[in-house]
């Protein structure tokens, strides 16, 4: 397995990376409250984006149901800490595990679906969860739940948790793609049936992606509702979560590791900045996403990478998933 540190330019990259991460760890001690909040959100959305990218950009599973796991994470934390006195940190982990178990069940039902069927099924599952949670007294029905244990917790704690989760998601994606699993993913992405015959267990590979994605997305959901204090079904299971993840990945560059980082910064910035214009913020977000897909289908980073031929945070063995559709070999040159 290759390491991040290779030749000279890689050493420089590595040093810059260390400095940035160190600065981010020290941020709460010198940054103001707003900056800390801003980056805390950026970290959560980086994680959200990375995990959606793992499914859609690498495993070929365009999920519209990441909110399932956000909601499960938020509610698990609320129920565990309110009813059973479980410490918050443990609550996050258990929430992640619950989400993972659910994702295994869902995988057995949904993974054999292709393309849009999978997309729709994940989304409908989330919609069904809204109805179920909104009618379930145990979790406060439509009013949702307060997470009492969070009161008095400093923002910096959630900030650190979020930073660590963001770093973990990035590391996981980078190393996953360099591992055997990553090789299998690329084989699947390029050609399902060929991958199958060459011994890649497609189901297992996709299942692992679902499990990892659900675990970390659930923790992000828990963290988000720690910062919000109140979890409510219509927001927790809302499609907006997937929209955000999709926007981040598409803007940044689908199938790139650094793309979602850039995308998350842009998303949180636009959201905060456009908030002053009220309703039109979402309109502008939507229009930007459409324009990027139409005119820079590889996202900002993908387009820049193509132009200048460099890659930040390389997950070599190809991470240039693009929208160019079928590989050339499939275009049968002998048919009219």
Partner 1 sequence: MEALIQSLIQGVLLGGLYAAIGIGMSLIFGIVKLTNLAHGDFLILGSYISLVVTSTLGISPFLSLIIVVPVMFCIGFLVQNTMLNRVLAKGAEPTLMITFGLSIVIQNLLLYFFTADARNLKSSIALKSITLSDGIRIPVIYLIGCIVGIVIILVLGAYFKKTYQGKAIMAAADDLEVAQLMGVNTKNIYALAMGISISTAAIAGVLVGVIYNFYPTSGSSYLVIAFAVVVIGGMGSTYGTLAAGFIFGVAQVLGAHFFGAQAQLLTGYVVLLIMLIFRPQGLFSR
Partner 2 sequence: MSDYLLKAEDINAKYGDFHAVQGASFDIKKGEIISVIGTNGAGKSTLMKAIVGIMKPSGGKVYYKGEDVTGIPTHKLVEMGLIAVPEGGRVFPRMTVLDNLIMGSYTPKARKNRDQALERVYSLFPILKEKANQAAGSLSGGQRQMVAIGRALMSDPELVLFDEISLGLAPTVIKDIYATIRQINKEGLTVILVEQDVKRSLKMSTKAYVMLKGKIVLEGNSQELTEEEVKRAYFGI
Cβ 115 to partner 1 shortest distance, Å: 5
Q: Which is nearer to partner 1, 5 or 283 (by Cβ)?
A: 283
Alpha carbon distance 144, 78 (integer Å):
9
Dmax over CA atoms of the chain, in Å, equals: 70
Pick 195 or 251: Cβ nearer partner 1: 251
Nearer CB in complex with partner 1: 133/215: 133
Helices 280-295 and 259-274 meet at what angle, rounded to 10? 150
Closest CB to partner 1 among 127 and 320?
127
For residue 292, the minimal CB distance to partner 2 (Å) is 23
Q: Which of 132, 131, 149, 123 is nearest to 230 (CA)?
A: 149
Residue 329 Cβ, how far from partner 2 at the closest point, in Å?
9
Q: Give strand pairing partners of 231.
A: 145
29 versus 334: smaller Cβ distance to partner 2: 334
Identify the residue among 1, 275, 294, 328 touching partner 2 (CB under 8 A): 328
Nearest to partner 1 of 85, 325 (CB atom): 325
d(CA 140, CA 269): 33
- Residue 170 vs residues 47, 219, 242, 315: alpha-carbon distances, Å: 8, 15, 18, 10
Q: Taking the complex as a whole, how short is the minimal distance between the CB of residue 232 and partner 1, in angstroms?
A: 16
CA distances from 84 to 81, 91, 221, 255 (A): 6, 10, 19, 40
Segment contacting partner 2 by CB under 8 A, of 48-56, 185-193, 199-207, 327-335:
327-335
The one segment of 94-102, 124-132, 181-189, 326-334 that binds partner 2 by CB under 8 A: 326-334
Left (φ > 0), alpha (ψ -120 to 50) or beta: where does 255 sit?
left
C-beta of 32: minimal distance to partner 2 in Å?
A: 51
User: Per CB under 8 A, does 331 bind partner 2?
Assistant: yes
333 touching partner 2, by CB under 8 A: yes
Nearer to partner 2, 193 or 335 (CB): 335
Q: Which strand (E) or helix (H) includes residue 55?
A: none
At 85, phi and psi to the nearest 5? Answer: 65, 25
CA separation for the pair 272, 166 (Å, rounded): 20
Task: Using CB under 8 A, pick the residue from 29, 197, 276, 335 that binds partner 2.
Answer: 335
Closest separation between CB of residue 118 and partner 1, Å? 9
Number of residues that make up the chain: 336
Strand partners, 230: 146
Q: How far is the CB of 286 from partner 1 (least distance, A)?
A: 4
Query: Residue numbers of the site for partner 1 (CB under 8 A)?
Result: 56, 62, 109-110, 113, 115-117, 119-121, 124-125, 127-128, 131-132, 135, 239, 243, 246, 250, 254, 278-280, 282-283, 285-287, 289-290, 293-294, 297, 323-326
55 closest CA partner among 76, 69, 38: 69
Interface positions with partner 2 (CB under 8 A): 328, 331, 333-336
């Amino acid at each position: 397995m290759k390491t991040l540190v290779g030749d000279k330019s890689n050493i420089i990259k590595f040093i810059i990376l260390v400095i940035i991460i160190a600065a981010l760890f020290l941020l709460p001690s010198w940054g103001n409250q707003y900056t800390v909040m801003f980056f805390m959100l950026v970290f959560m959305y980086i994680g959200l984006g990375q995990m959606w990218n793992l499914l859609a950009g690498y495993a070929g599973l365009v999920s519209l149901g990441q909110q399932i796991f956000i909601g499960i994470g938020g509610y698990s934390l609320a129920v565990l800490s309110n009813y059973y006195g479980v410490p918050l940190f443990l609550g996050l982990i258990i929430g992640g595990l619950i989400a993972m178990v659910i994702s295994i069940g869902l995988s057995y039902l949904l993974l054999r679906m292709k393309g849009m069927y999978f997309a729709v099924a994940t989304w409908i599952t989330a919609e069904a969860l809204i109805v179920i949670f909104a009618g379930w007294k145990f979790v406060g029905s439509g009013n949702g739940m307060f997470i009492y244990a969070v009161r008095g917790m400093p923002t910096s704690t959630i900030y650190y948790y979020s930073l660590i989760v963001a770093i973990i998601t990035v590391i996981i994606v980078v190393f996953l793609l360099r591992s055997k699993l990553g090789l299998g993913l690329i084989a699947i992405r390029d050609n399902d049936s060929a991958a199958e015959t060459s011994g890649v267990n497609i189901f297992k590979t996709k299942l692992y992606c679902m499990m990892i994605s659900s675990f970390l997305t659930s923790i992000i959901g828990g963290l988000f509702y720690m910062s919000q204090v109140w979890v409510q079904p219509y927001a927790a299971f809302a499609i907006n979560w997937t929209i955000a993840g999709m926007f981040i990945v598409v803007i940044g560059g689908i199938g790139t590791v650094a793309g979602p980082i850039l995308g998350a910064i842009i998303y949180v910035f636009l959201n905060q900045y456009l908030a002053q214009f009220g309703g039109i913020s979402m309109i502008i977000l939507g229009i930007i996403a459409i324009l990027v897909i139409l005119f820079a289908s590889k996202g900002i980073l993908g387009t820049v990478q193509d132009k200048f031929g460099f890659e930040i945070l390389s997950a070599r063995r190809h991470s240039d998933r693009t929208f160019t559709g079928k590989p050339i070999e499939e275009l049968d040159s002998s048919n009219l």
